[in-house]
Amino acid sequence: MRALTWHGKHDVRVDTVPDPEIINPRDAIIKVTSTAICGSDLHLYDAYIPTLKAGDILGHEFMGEVVETGPRSTLKKGQRVVVPFVIACGSCYFCGKHQYSACDNSNPADNQDISEELWGHPAAGLFGYSHMTGGYPGGQAEYVRVPYSDVGPIVIPDGVEDEKVLFLSDILPTGWMAAENADIEPGDTVAVWGCGPVGLFAVQSAFLMGAARVIAIDHFPNRLALARKFGAEILNYEDSKIYDALMEMTGGIGPDAVIDAVGMESHGLFADNVLDQIKATAFLGTERPHVLRQAIVACRKGGRVSVPGVYGGFVDKFPMGAFMEKGLTMKTGQTHVQHYLPGLLNAILEEKIDTTFLISHRMGLEDAPHGYDIFKNNQDEVTKIVLKPDMAKA
């Protein structure tokens, strides 16, 4: 089959690779009909994530048709499914609490060592996202093996086109959980840093949860315009002083809840024996932790901090004083996708949430390397790229 594979920094190629096979009883094989490039894929592209190997298939946002099932899969051939980016066994203590992204079992035993060393506990398995999260081949491919297929994939009713539901795989539930983690009360003012897909879905979700005002912060005019379309007030940090503006807009009180949908992505994902490299890469090379500091300083006293943005290592100069003295609460985490799928699918079918607005580009899988290039280099215009394996090369 054809698949988008990683070969090094800014070097991704579409190669012919072996077709996936059923290995375990609960597996299924999915023929991919639509798959997206995620902002977090750019950090693989930029070679910031360790434990990625040449030839690894990327992609964790995908959907398709079931073409093969293991004896314990509950899926049936021909069903259309969206697959969560988090792989969860459904049987462990954490899955039992619906904390699917904390699954104890989905990361193969050998691959658990790195995250256990780095974070104290092993991470769950993810599709197409390096070997420390399992080494599972990803979805930017014609076919994917889906482990624990009786737990993750959600069946899509006939007649609902791919683009309406594809983002159930990651960014829609991630934006929703970001708003849920902000414990929004009716009438609240919520500030969202980052108007990428997750931030934009967090804006929509915050309004659905009763927020009276949402203030969206970014510097890409096109992305800010999308946030405004959903009713957010917008702030461009290249033009305005964000803390000052937020205080003026809220009469000095500050937002009730703040959402960091930027993160420092995975710039800190290095084992602690290369701490110096972390400092050089994460703290000198980027201003991103600045968002978290600014959000905490701007948040009202007693307010809530929600962090859907990805962090992997250490944050330097964390404003613990502001956090403690103002009595803030922080919630974060990789998304418990499986938990949110039924409710969010309904919200899409009832047209309470629109996801298609996000897609700026559609292309064949063969053009994926070009997609990575433009997604990285033109973030204002390129908000989301959907790859279609059956679309011809441009």
The residue ranges that bind other proteins (CB under 8 A) are: 17-21, 23-26, 72, 89-93, 96, 104-113, 122, 125, 134-137, 147-148
Could you tell me the CA-to-CA distances from 235 to 202, 243, 286 in Å, in that order? 16, 10, 21
Q: How far is the CB of 364 from other proteins (least distance, A)?
A: 23
Separation of alpha carbons 17 and 394, rounded Å? 22
- Shortest distance in whole angstroms from residue 333 CB to other proteins: 20
Q: How far is the CB of 77 from other proteins (least distance, A)?
A: 21
The span from the CA of 1 to the CA of 144, in Å, is 10
- CB of residue 92 to other proteins, shortest distance in Å: 5
Distance of closest approach, residue 100 Cβ to other proteins, in angstroms: 13
For residue 93, give both structure tokens. 């203590």
- How many Å apart are CA 246 and CA 256, to the nearest integer? 11
Rounded to 5 degrees, what are φ and ψ at 244?
-60, -45
Q: Closest CB to other proteins among 149 and 334?
A: 149
3-state secondary structure of 233: strand
Q: How far is the CB of 93 from other proteins (least distance, A)?
A: 5
CA–CA dist 51, 254 (Å, integer): 41
Nearest CB to other proteins, comparing residues 110 and 350: 110
Residue 56 CB, nearest approach to other proteins (Å): 10
In three-state secondary structure terms, 345 is helix
Q: Specify whether the CB–CB gap between 256 and 303 falls below 8 A.
A: yes
Alpha-carbon distance of 389 to 394, in angstroms, equals 12
Can you spell out the DSSP letters for 155-174?
EPPTT--HHHHGGGGTHHHH
Cβ closest to other proteins, residue 50 vs residue 90: 90
CB closer to other proteins, 128 vs 309: 128
Judged by beta carbon, residue 2 or residue 331, the one nearer other proteins is 2
From start to end of the chain, where are the E strands? Answer: 2-8, 11-16, 28-37, 61-69, 80-83, 86-87, 125-126, 143-146, 154-155, 189-193, 213-218, 233-236, 257-260, 304-307, 329-332, 361-364, 385-388
- Minimum CB separation from other proteins for residue 286, in Å? 30
Nearest CB to other proteins, comparing residues 16 and 377: 16
CA distance 350 to 224: 26
CB-nearer residue toward other proteins: 148 or 372: 148
